[in-house]
Structure 1
Amino acid sequence: MPEASAAALPLLPSSQAGSPATYAPRGRRRRRGWRRPRGLLAWGALVAFFFVMNWWMFSRLQDPAARPHFRLRRHPPRAPAAANASSLSTLEEVGGAGKGKRPHQVMLTRLLALAAHALAEAETRPEPKDLWKEPINATMWLPCSDKRTWEASEGTNGYIMISANGGINQQRVAICNAVTISRLLNATLVIPKFLYSNVWLDKSQFGDIYQEDYFINYLKSDIRIVKELPVELQSLDLEAIGSLRLRCRCNFHALRFVHKIQQTGALLVERLHGHRPHPSPLEDNLLGHFTRKSVLKGYKNDPTKYLAVHLRFEIDMVAYSLCYFGGGKDEEEELEIYRQIHFPALTELRKTTKLPSAASLRSEGKCPLAPEEAVLMLAAIGFKRNTNVYIAGAEIYGGRHRMAAISRLYPALVSKETLLSPAELEPFRNFSSQLAALDFIACAAADAFAMTDPGSQFSSLVQGYRMYYGGGDLPTVRPNKRRLASILLKNATMEWNEFESRVRKLIQQTKQVHERPVARSIFRHPRCLDCMCRTEN
């Protein structure tokens, strides 16, 4: 406020200060001198009052004591972050990361206050009609990759062994590619091995996540699969030895989670959805026979809708992006240490190559959306304050401090850690891929799914699964990050109605139904004649 008052003081050029035209008797000058500060003080007080009231309204709307608990929560919620530890950071700080550039004059704090006010007013208004629906022509595409027209492969041309790296999403894609290559080469596929990653820290193998026998039997008419090499070949020093329809069958039909993942996934879905007497085809595929009976004895509640959100804001994503998120010197040092350990090639590249600044990366939409940016998007497209929201993903960088904004605007916020008891989670602890499988189930089965990073492998697989099995009833919110960044960064005086309109238009354009674009991933875009069947409505 002192800066605002100072900026409002009119400065007269020195040439005018002593000019005859501005001269007045001493008494008159004194009276005018008193009037001017009084007017300025009144104006400054009015501006201060506006900001204080705006802050007060925001804090009252977000009062943790007034929050209704999500009725499906079985365990006490984590204590909310202190008010002075709020994550309402400003893009002004973020934009200032680029040396020599003026900071962007867009404050997330202001937009978040406007969002809170809008959500409070929206309680009595109906939701947008298409909020929980895909476009009408999405129903023209039906899953049919379970049908096959080709001859069986005998697998007589040797064996194919693969070692899949990365998390569950990269592993899943690698498996489907290996199945296709095995058929092309008429070779026998050995159940893939998963490499241990110093990022994921998960020792899970194929049989810990997927049903091996189901996988082998489902694809036996396509390729020959064995669990391990024949005994006579196992002693070989392997280190010294130097199709589109089929990928769909593998990804959407052959890969089924093991029973312990299906059973716990069914717990999540029922606690989120409530009891549904007629499970969807997607739930049948994800949960097997666990979806055909109530897995919670005596646990009855009415069906309800929920939104699943994948916040791709873990430390590895934040560090690799080279973006800045307002954490100052501590953030920069912490992320640089992480890069040196986990991304040494990137560290070396920065020494020899001039890379884009953090500010330019943000303006190009190449930075992951922070939770406070994601919540603005959700509020703008029409999700009400009482919407049940499931948060997927690993530990968010910045923890509860970074999650403060989204938990205040959407208090009915849950995750697998709050919906499942410690005993139910215990079999999956220290197995990040198995925990990711639970998130995959909860996100795929959600009434609406929102991603914050369209390039995420996890979000891509969930989106494809929902397209394949959704029948037009499982919409996905997929932002164009570059255009969203331009909306957030362009105008500090944008009113909420304009922000809301521009964001809704952006999201609406990404929800249009198209056949799979050329050379795009079949796992993300299954709507093509090699994977799905098209009907004319």
Structure 2
Amino acid sequence: MSGTSLICNAVTITRLLNATLVIPKFLYSNVWLDKRDLPVDLQSLDLEAIGSLVNDTDVMKEAKPSVYVKKILPILMKNRVVHFIGFGNRLSFDPIPSEIQRLRCRCNFHALRFVRKIQETGALLMERLHGYRPHSSSLEDNLLGQFAVKSVPNGNMSDASRYLAVHLRFEIDMVAYSLCYFGGGKEEEDELEAYRQIHFPVLTEIKKTTKLPSAAFLRSEGKCPLAPEEAVLMLAAIGFKRSTKIYIAGAEIYGGSHRMAAISRLYPALVTKETLLSPSELEPFRNFSSQLAALDFIACAAADAFAMTDSGSQFSSLVQGYRMYYGGGDLPTIRPNKRRLASILVKNATIEWKEFETRVRKLIQQTKQVHERPVARSIYRHPRCPECMCRTEF
């Protein structure tokens, strides 16, 4: 999902400069394994030599449209090609002409569609979650295209099951980078430090020369990922019953089945894309992390309720914005304030359950309120603004 803002910004700047957009080359890494490339005839150009390579030192973060007209348009006019590197956050949200903002918004919520194989498998996933083939709605049409059928078999939805989707951000890379402690003793500390040395060498070097905040301080400030056993306490306090069907989105949980034991015991109707789809149905996506994330996105965006454990997650932010844009207020998103939740969880050994329940519910109720998009905030996460929610044509 990380390419979404990049593409929307690229489309917007292309319109601003009256240029032709060539689909960008996405980052190839150990996380996002999908390869994309420029057309062959452009690959042979030495863009750096001709001065057409533009990176984040040439265009600052959150640059205004005027910067592109002043700095980039002359390069484009001279060389007829510009290659942006590190472009994801290079266009501001405010101040910006409303027609440019609206284009970026419509690109994100209308123009961008999943490819056929993702739509088809996503529809299969929805059928097994809900108990019926997805029916036609603006949200399902956008997510599933032709695979969102126009009517429900027999016209009967009484047997449809409701489900809660939860994005558990507790992968080893996030856990290691957080510098937090999760109760696993020296074995956990050694394992995470070894992972940092390989995957986050800069962080390892910083630790040698700089006094960093303690794990306890990071937790009190809400900087630590919410562990599955903490997430289950939050869900139970909100009022989700044992019979609730829960779809877990995300990559492999650090700690595996041991970490998932508490939530699995309390919510036995726990499912994932791996349990709902057969190995052969998942095989086309097996080596592509972003495509697996797309299946999770469909399940989360269309859920009856969605809960995130990290409000800073780009995936969760995109799901939240999508549900806000298409939901009409009927698709609730649970977004805890981790700093305030941490102050409650730290007392879980002494606090009475009723008090814990009351405090968590009050916290969640406050974060469920939907407001107009704050100034300079992302329209992908906060689409409730005149340039976005109107859905008008150009």
**Shared fold per TM-score greater than 0.5:** yes
Shift of 1:183: 1.7
- Structure showing greater relative contact order (alpha-carbon pairs closer than 8 Å, 6 or more residues apart): 1
* 1:394 match: 251
Determine if contact 1:312/1:453 at 8 Å carries over to the other structure. Answer: yes
Question: Considering only CA atoms, is the larger Rg found in Structure 1 or Structure 2?
Answer: 1
Matched residue, 2:34? 203
C-alpha distance in structure 1 between counterparts of 2:34 and 2:146, whole Å: 27
Residue 432 of structure 1 deviates from its aligned partner by 0.6
How big is the shift at 1:338? 1.2
**1:428-449 CA-partner distances (Å, limit 9, x unpaired):** 1111111000000000000000
Q: CA deviation at 1:491?
A: 6.0
Among 261, 270, 273, which residue is 2:130 paired with? 273
Equivalent residues of 2:126, 2:133 under 8 A apart? no
What is aligned with 2:70?
none
The residue number in structure 2 matching 1:283 is: 140
Report the AA paired with residue 13 of structure 2: I
Equivalent position of 1:79 in the other structure: none
Any stretches of 5+ residues in structure 2 without a counterpart?
A: 54-99
Secondary structure of 2:390's counterpart equals strand
Once residues 234 and 373 of structure 1 are traced to their aligned partners in structure 2, the CA distance between those partners, rounded to angstroms, is 49
8 A Cα contact 2:311 2:336, kept in partner: yes
Aligned partners of 2:280, 2:45: CA distance in 1, in Å?
A: 43
Distance 1:470 1:204, change over 3 A: farther
Q: Separation in 1 of the partners of 2:376 and 2:347?
A: 34
Question: How many residues in Structure 1 have an aligned counterpart in Structure 2?
Answer: 340
The runs of 5 or more residues in structure 1 that have no matched partner are 1-167, 207-226
The answer for the alignment partner of 2:194 in structure 1 is: 337
Quick one: distance in 2 between partners of 1:495 and 1:403?
A: 24
Paired AA for residue 391 in structure 1: I
Matched, 1:179 2:11: yes
The answer on whether the counterparts of 2:126 and 2:134 sit within 8 Å (CA) in structure 1 is: no
Q: Deviations over 1:105-159 (max 9, x none)?
A: xxxxxxxxxxxxxxxxxxxxxxxxxxxxxxxxxxxxxxxxxxxxxxxxxxxxxxx
Point out the more displaced range, 500-509 or 268-277: 268-277
Report the CA distance between 1:409 and its aligned residue.
0.6
User: 1: distance between equivalents of 2:372 and 2:225?
Assistant: 27
Per-residue CA distance 1:72-106 (angstroms, 9 max, x = gap): xxxxxxxxxxxxxxxxxxxxxxxxxxxxxxxxxxx
3-state SS, counterpart of residue 124 of structure 2: helix
1:336 aligned counterpart, secondary structure: helix
Aligned counterpart in structure 1 of residue 46 of structure 2, from 237, 241, 252: 237
Work out whether 1:444 is the aligned partner of 2:301.
yes
| Deviation of the 1:248 alpha carbon | 0.9
Deviation at 1:492, TM superposition (A): 3.3
Aligned AA (1:262) = Q
Q: Distance in 2 between matches of 1:172 and 1:286?
A: 14
Q: 1:519 corresponds to which residue?
A: 376
The offset of 1:365, in angstroms, is 0.6
Confirm or deny: 8 A CA contact 1:310 1:459 kept in the other structure.
Answer: yes
Q: Which whole-Å CA distance do the structure 2 matches of 1:440 and 1:252 have between them?
A: 13
3-state SS, counterpart of residue 21 of structure 2:
strand
Q: Percent of aligned positions with the same letter in both sequences?
A: 83
The 5 Å alignment of 1:340-489 reads 340-489=197-346
How big is the shift at 1:294?
A: 8.4
Offset at residue 186 of structure 1 (A): 2.0
Three-state SS of the structure 2 residue aligned to 1:326 is coil
1:378-406 per-residue CA deviation (whole Å, 9 max, x = no partner) reads 01111111000000000000000000000
Q: Which whole-Å CA distance do the structure 1 matches of 2:193 and 2:14 have between them?
A: 41
Q: What's the Cα RMSD here?
A: 2.0
Structure 1 counterpart of 2:27, which letter? L
The aligned residue for residue 164 of structure 2 is 307
Residue 503 of structure 1 deviates from its aligned partner by 0.4
